[in-house]
Amino acid sequence: MAWAQTISESLAPLVNLVYPPRCPLCGGAIAQQNGLCGPCWGNLQIPAEPWCSTCQRPFINESMEEGAMCAPCLQNPPRHGGIAAGTIYNDASRKLVLSFKHGGRIALAPMLARLMAGKLSYADENWLLVPVPLHRWRLWGRGYNQAGLLAQQLAALTGAGLELQALRRNKKTPPLAGLGRHARARALANAISVPPKMASRVAGKNVILVDDVLTSGATSDSCVRALQAAGADEIRIACFARVLDEVLTGAG
């Protein structure tokens, strides 16, 4: 609402006086809240073309032709219609994610969402934002769903619709890191669904699935399957940080 923004802007000088703006990565002084210092901005890796025509995975080789597909998509074509990542997962984005997800720094949500929104130029009222769900035990323990906070911010930035309860996690799943493809599939079997009462709100809609980090893609694939089963039309994925093995290992 406009009045809320006006109040927030009028109180900003007082907030900055009491709580001087600090970079959430290095602790250095910055001009305003919800930002990073110049050097830390430079440490974020922003994905750019050329990238895979199917999943927008950036190519290391800048001479790749338009329309080229990455090896993972050629081997196993994805169910989704594309991935929009605000950053590539590295040390800088990892620190932001950990602070946001496990450190209770929910005030980082607007900044993270702005980086994501920069890759969602197509998002408008014809799209529906749906966050990856947390199991209720994890939600009670953490106190918030980080994907839901990002989806709320993206709705305000893009004008897209928002449905926070479109997906439900039916069982608590173990950590997927280190599990093989088949083990991840077993862990996620029947773990995520669209509640019956939400099916009519998803059917026929173009959906943007929102999460903080995209790793193996197993969880997002389970969400996409559930949305497709409920009749969703095109489904794309938006995340703040995308994990790419070649970046983590330094492979060329």
Give pLDDT tens digits for 75-124: 989 999 999 999 999 999 999 999 999 888 999 999 999 999 999 999 99
pTM of the model: 0.87
Minimum mean pLDDT among 9-18, 39-48, 126-135, 235-244: which range? 9-18
What is the predicted pLDDT for the residue at 157?
97
CA atoms 172, 84, 105, 40: torsion sign:
positive
What is the predicted pLDDT for the residue at 19?
56
What is the predicted pLDDT for the residue at 67?
84
Q: Which fold has domain 80-249?
A: Rossmann fold (3.40.50)
What is the predicted pLDDT for the residue at 100?
94
**pLDDT greater than 70 at residue 209:** yes
What is the predicted pLDDT for the residue at 137?
84
Task: Give rounded-to-5 percent helix, strand, coil for the chain.
Answer: 40, 15, 45
Contacting residues for 172 by C-beta, under 8 A, at least 6 apart: 135, 137, 138
**pLDDT greater than 60 at residue 188:** yes
CA distance 128 to 202: 8
